[in-house]
Amino acid sequence: MAEKSMVLLIIIVEICKKQFMAKKINNLSPFGVHSCLCAFNPWTKITWNNTIADCDKNTITTFTQNNPNILDTSDLPEPYSGSFINSDVICLNLNPGGTVNATDFKQSQYLQLRQETLLHKTDDFMWFKDIKDINGNLHAGCIWWRERTKELCTELNTQNLNIFVLEYFPYHSKQSFNYPELPSDAYRDYLLFQALIQGKLLVIMRGKRYWEKVLLRTILRLCSYRYKIIEMNSPQSAFFSKNNFGSNWRDLIKTLS
């Protein structure tokens, strides 16, 4: 019975891929001018005074009451970064860190860039921009991503990569923990499903065991998925380097070229 279910899932994925390609060939947006992406997007109301998705508030409140020193909800949430529509590479990460004082960035372009990203109104990966605090210091997110993509940018002779990063858990913390399930997970799973049926290259950065569960719920087991999924050799470092990708390095370069 399980095998029949798996075969059925594969058939469904193939049908969806063919439908997507048919729309693409006819010069139609696969999202109807990204209307599908925005139809049930839980991240449309994020501001400095509202850093938690409305659908997540009860869950996050209960979690922080029981675990008071884990989450940093003073910072803007980061469920994803980059342009989903324009990116051929989807990076699966665990959750954003909590290493900056969010107050120092309230007068910068940080909020605008984050809102544009959450609304799918950007073509750029915001962490390649110069996001600075009130003292002129570069945001830790900019530093982190530039360090980890330096070799890849050099290989491609570019200062900007067309990638989309999807976080398993959207809120900031200084360390990993037992992540609670959230209502906003449904939108994360939707984006992942769209990435799969469109044949985008998936790069598992961190949290493989968590992403396996997501893929099991949505489409296929990660270990048997026969499309384009590659892993980093060292998720702890998360560097986009030849050593960290091994034989998959050329596939990454080819997809981004």
> Is the pLDDT confidence value at 34 over 70?
no
Query: pLDDT class for 21, splitting at 50, 70, 90?
Result: very low
Nearest to 239 by CA among 155, 153, 151: 151
Alpha helices in 121-246 (DSSP H): 140-156, 185-197, 208-218, 242-245
* Mean pLDDT of the region 78-97: 96
Dist. CA 193–CA 122, nearest whole Å: 21
Question: Which listed CATH number (3.10.450, 1.10.3450, 3.40.470, 3.10.590) goes with 2-256?
Answer: 3.40.470
pLDDT of residue 25: 33
pLDDT of residue 224: 46
Domain ranges of the chain: 2-256
Sign of the CA dihedral running 153, 158, 159, 163: negative
* Percent above pLDDT 70 for the chain: 81
DSSP character at residue 77: P
Query: pLDDT class for 220, splitting at 50, 70, 90?
Result: low
Angle formed at CA 194 by CA 192 and CA 12, multiple of 5 degrees: 105
Sign of the CA dihedral running 154, 155, 159, 165: negative
User: 236 or 43: whose pLDDT is higher?
Assistant: 43
The residue behind tokens 């990638």 is: 163
* Mean pLDDT of the region 76-86: 96
pLDDT per position as a tens digit, 128-183: 999 999 999 999 999 999 999 999 999 999 988 999 999 999 999 988 899 999 99
